[in-house]
Structure formats: C-alpha cells, structure tokens
C-alpha cells in the first residue's frame, strides 16, 4: 500500500489475509484522501483471488473482475450516494445467498457513518451472524461515527492522518518538489496526501496567485476578488490560508510565505475576515445566484485598512 501512514493498519490486514484469518466484519476509519478505499478494495481482491495466497495476484479472472467492478461476489454500497434501508435489504439478501463453490463474498460498505438507525437495524442481524466466508468491510471516512451497535460488531482499525514530516518525505520520494514553506501547503490541504499532491502538481501556480494577493503590500482586495471570481477553489484556499495565518499569529510562529500578512494585520482583523468569509462560504450553498464579488468586497476591504 502506498503511503507510510497506511502501514500500521495495512500490516494488521495483510497478516490477517495471509493467515486466512480476515475478520468477517471490519470497520476502517480515517479521513478522506488517505487511500483507505484502495486498501479496502485490495482486501476484497485478495480474499477472492484464485491463488488464495493472502495477496491479490492481479492476473487471475477473479482479480480482474473485482478490479473492473463486475465481480458477483463483491457488493458495493454507498460509493456515490448514501445508503438507504432498501439498499441494506438488498445487501442482506445478497449475503444470505450461498456463493458458487463456497467462494468468498465481500461487501464493501462506504459511508458507514451515514447509516441511520433504520438502516443500521436492518443490517445488524446479517452483521451478527454472517454466512461462512462472507466478509463485510465498512468504511467510515466521514466525521460522523457509525451507530454504536454497528461499531461494536466490527474489528475497528483507524488510519491516522500523516504528519507533516511523513508527507514531505513521501512527496520527495515521488519526485515532487517540496516547497520551502511546506507547513502552509500541509494546512491548506488539511493533511490529505491526495489534496496535497494535487495542490503541488496541478494547482501550485493558481494557489501562489492567492498567496501573493494576500501578502501584497499595500493589500488590495481587487486582485484577490478577481481571482476568486474566476477560480472557485481560491475561496477555500483563502479560508485555509487565513486560518493558517491566524494559527501562526496566535502561537507566535512565523510563516515565510505569509510573513507580510501576519505582520501587517492585527489578529482581530484576520479573525473577522476569516469568520465573514466562512459565513459567505456557507451562504453560497444556500443561496443560488449570490453575487460573489459584491459580497467579497466588504470582507476583504477589512484588510485594506
């Protein structure tokens, strides 16, 4: 599995696979962008692989069917939309059917935290008394925890967020240049390896426009608003960037990239700008046709003083 942050959990899973002792109900927890989905998919493949070696050979028919998403022995739920009671009933029926020649069956349940009480209750009996060779892998990548009755029936494994040092080393290994002020990028990507890779690989130039706009002396709202109007992501970057500047100010730390922003503005004005921007971000979801530029002007004008 790629990424050192997966290693502790991966060690446990791969040892269970190779000893043919994979738990019938596993709950994998962690945040998005850590590669937990790929790890769960690999486990499904390894459980079904013709070699039965505890690994996925990636060459046999079973591995290929799992890979293409068409293996009848794999049931995926909640990949794109949240799971409803009817989906769980479908899963229950699938779990009760015996598989061909006793082959393993694997259910991958994404969004385990989204299961409401009715869905969880419908699922409990299947989870409690699974057929032999039927495995349930639940993924909980959202902040909301699954209902406790579901939790208690699973072997729970948590993937921790990688540290700044781990991510910086991982990026270097992949030939990606780690910027001097890596702490800023780490915060903006919220410690997510996938988001960070994208930020450095594809969005770096666009992101730097935002950094430059925030650190220009004197500060002017216009270029920043123009950029946010063109590039939707720039609003989220602005929020993360302000939050990072505040964190540095409050803890008396420096950030090379943001030093002009931190030294020229009071904590109060950074805070006010951040909270107004956050409120606007939320309003965006609720009000359609919001004139963004018009709303942004008074928010950023606070930094012009």
CB of 51 to Zn ion, least distance (A): 5
Q: Which residue, 183, 164, 150, is CA-closest to 262? A: 183
Distance CA 197, CA 35 (A): 13
Distance CA 129, CA 127 (A): 6
Task: Output 59 or 125, the one with its CB closest to Zn ion.
Answer: 59
CB of 102 to Zn ion, least distance (A): 17
Distance CA 108, CA 137 (A): 5
CA distances (Å), 210 to each of 45, 105, 165, 234, 266, in order? 43, 49, 25, 7, 20
Total interface residues for Zn ion by CB under 5 A: 4
Site for Zn ion in 42-101 (CB under 5 A): 49, 57, 60, 63
Task: Output 60 or 209, the one with its CB closest to Zn ion.
Answer: 60
Q: Which residue has the tokens 């594809």?
A: 202
Task: Output 64 or 272, the one with its CB closest to Zn ion.
Answer: 64
DSSP state, residue 161: P
Task: Output 54 or 78, the one with its CB closest to Zn ion.
Answer: 54
CB of 61 to Zn ion, least distance (A): 8
Sheet holding 134-140, edge to edge: 74-77, 105-109, 134-140, 25-29, 155-158
CB of 72 to Zn ion, least distance (A): 16
CB of 19 to Zn ion, least distance (A): 18
CB of 155 to Zn ion, least distance (A): 24
Distance CA 194, CA 31 (A): 11
Give the binding site for Zn ion (CB under 5 A).
49, 57, 60, 63
């Amino acid at each position: 599995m790629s990424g050192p942050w997966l290693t502790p959990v991966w060690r446990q899973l791969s040892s269970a696979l190779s000893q043919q002792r994979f738990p019938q109900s596993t709950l994998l927890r962690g945040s998005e962008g850590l590669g937990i989905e790929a790890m769960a998919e690999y486990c499904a493949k390894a459980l079904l692989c013709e070699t039965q070696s505890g690994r996925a050979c990636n060459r046999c028919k079973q591995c290929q069917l799992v890979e293409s998403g068409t293996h009848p022995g794999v049931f995926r739920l909640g990949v794109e939309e949240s799971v409803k009671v009817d989906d769980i009933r479908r899963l229950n029926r699938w779990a009760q059917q015996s598989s061909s020649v006793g082959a393993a069956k694997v259910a991958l349940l994404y969004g385990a935290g989204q299961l409401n009480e009715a869905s969880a209750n419908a699922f409990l009996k299947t989870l409690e008394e699974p057929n032999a060779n039927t495995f349930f892998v639940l993924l909980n990548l959202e902040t909301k925890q699954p209902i406790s009755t579901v939790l208690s029936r699973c072997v729970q494994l948590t993937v921790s967020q990688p540290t700044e040092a781990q991510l910086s080393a991982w990026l270097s290994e992949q030939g990606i240049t780690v910027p001097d002020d890596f702490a800023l990028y780490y915060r903006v990507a919220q410690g997510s390896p996938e988001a960070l890779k994208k930020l450095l690989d594809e969005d770096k130039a666009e992101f730097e426009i935002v950094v430059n706009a925030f650190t220009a002396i004197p500060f002017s709202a216009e270029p920043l608003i123009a950029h946010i109007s063109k590039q939707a992501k720039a609003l989220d970057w602005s929020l993360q960037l302000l939050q990072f500047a505040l964190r540095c100010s409050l803890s008396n730390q420096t950030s090379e990239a943001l030093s002009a922003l931190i030294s020229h503005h009071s904590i109060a004005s950074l805070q006010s700008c951040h909270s107004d921007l956050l409120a606007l971000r939320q309003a965006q979801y609720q009000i359609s046709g919001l004139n963004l530029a018009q709303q942004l002007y008074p928010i950023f004008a606070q930094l012009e003083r």
